[in-house]
Amino acid sequence: MNIIGPDTLVFGVDDIAACTQYLIDYGLLPVRCDDTGGRFEALDGTGVEIAHRDDPRLPPGLGTASMLRKTIYGVADAAALDAIATELCRDREVRKLADGSIEATDDMGFAIGFQVTARRSLTLPAEPLNAPGAPAQRAPNIVAVRDDAVLTPRTLSHVVYFVPDAAKAEAFYVERLGFRCTDRFTGVGPFLQPAGTLDHHTLFMIQTPPFMKGCEHFTFHMGGPTEVLQAGTRFVEKGYQSFWGPGRHRFGSNWFWYFNSPLGCHVEYDADMDLHDGEWTAREAPMGADASQLFLFQRRDKWAPGGPPPAGAKAQ
C-alpha cells in the first residue's frame, strides 16, 4: 500500500491560545487560526491541527492524558485509498468522511485517517557544506550563517506512540498497512517505514504501561543541522524549555532537539535522516543512552573568549 507518511496530526488541547503561539513560535505557518483552534503547516502543506479537547468534531480521546486525537496519513492516489479501505473493512468500521478521506482505528485504539496526500513538492537546496577534498557547495564569499535566516519546517517527519503492546501494534502496521521495520530497540519497539517513502521511519512505537498510551513526540524535518540548532536556540530564547538535545541519533542518524510543549507531548526539530530501500537489513539493539544517540550536547548561554568561563565549565 502506497502510504507516504503522516500528512496531519490532530490534537484536542486544553489551551488553544498557548498551543497556537507555541506552533507559530516553533516555525509552522498558520493557515487557519481562531479561538476554536487552527491549522499550522510546514512548507509542503503537512501540519498540525488543534481544537479544544471538548470539540465534538474530534475523534474520541484515548482515555489517558494524551491530547493526540488522530494521525492522518497521506497516500499516493485514490487506488491506494481504496485498497486501505478494503483491507481494514475486513474487521473494523471504516468511515468515509465528507472530504473524501477515510477514518478507522488501529489495534491500540489510535484514530487513523487516510487521504490522497495534500503534500506539495518542494524544490529547495539542502544546507550546503564545504569540506576539504570535496567540491565546494558554497561559492566564495557566500557565508553559511545568517542571523536573519528564515527557519520554516519543511515537512512532517514522524510521530512516536506510547503503546501497551508493541508487538501487536507493529503487526497491525506491517501486516495490514504494508509498513516495514527498519531498526528496533529490543523489548521496546520498532521504527516503521511505510512503502511510499525512503525515510528511516515515520512511526516509532515504545512499549509502556496502558495508562501512558498516547503521543510521546512528533517532529518536522528542517533543512539541515544548522537549522535545527539555530531554530532550537531561538525557541529557547522565546522561553520554551529544552527537554533533550541537541544531538544526533544512531538509528536514523537524524539530528534532533526536543522541547516540552502544551500539546501534552514533546515536539522535536530534526534533520538529515537516513534513507533506506528494500536492500536494507534492520538492526536491533538494547535501549540505552549509547544506542539512542551518537552524541548529545547541552545548550549554554553564549560566551566569548576572554570572558569568565561559561557556567559549568572548569577554569584551566
For residue 32, give every residue at least 6 positions away whose Cβ sits within 8 Å of its Cβ, in sequence order, or none.
Answer: 38, 39
Task: Name the packing angle between helices 16-26 and 225-237 (round to 10°).
Answer: 140
At 67, the amino acid letter reads M
Q: What is the pLDDT of residue 314?
A: 60
109-147: burial string, b at 16+ Cβ within 10 Å, e else: ebbbbbbbbebeeeeeeebeeeeeeeeeeeeeeeeeeee
pLDDT in tens, 114-139: 999 999 999 999 999 999 999 999 99
**pLDDT at position 313:** 62
Q: What is the pLDDT of residue 163?
A: 98
- What pTM did the predictor assign? 0.95
Q: What is the pLDDT along the chain (316 residues), one digit of tens a residue?
A: 899 999 999 999 999 999 999 999 999 999 999 999 999 999 999 999 999 999 999 999 999 999 999 999 999 999 999 999 999 999 999 999 999 999 999 999 999 999 999 999 999 999 999 999 999 999 999 999 999 999 999 999 999 999 999 999 999 999 999 999 999 999 999 999 999 999 999 999 999 999 999 999 999 999 999 999 999 999 999 999 999 999 999 999 999 999 999 999 999 999 999 999 999 999 999 999 999 999 999 888 888 887 777 766 665 5
**Whole-number pLDDT of residue 55:** 97
- Give the residue from 40, 12, 36 showing the smallest Cα distance to 26: 40
pLDDT score for 308: 78
Q: What own/partner pairs with CB < 8 Å and gap ≥ 24 does 128-136 have?
A: none
pLDDT computed for residue 174 by the predictor: 98
The CATH superfamily label for domain 3-119+152-296 reads 2,3-Dihydroxybiphenyl 1,2-Dioxygenase, domain 1 (3.10.180.10)
> Would you list the domain boundaries of the chain?
3-119+152-296
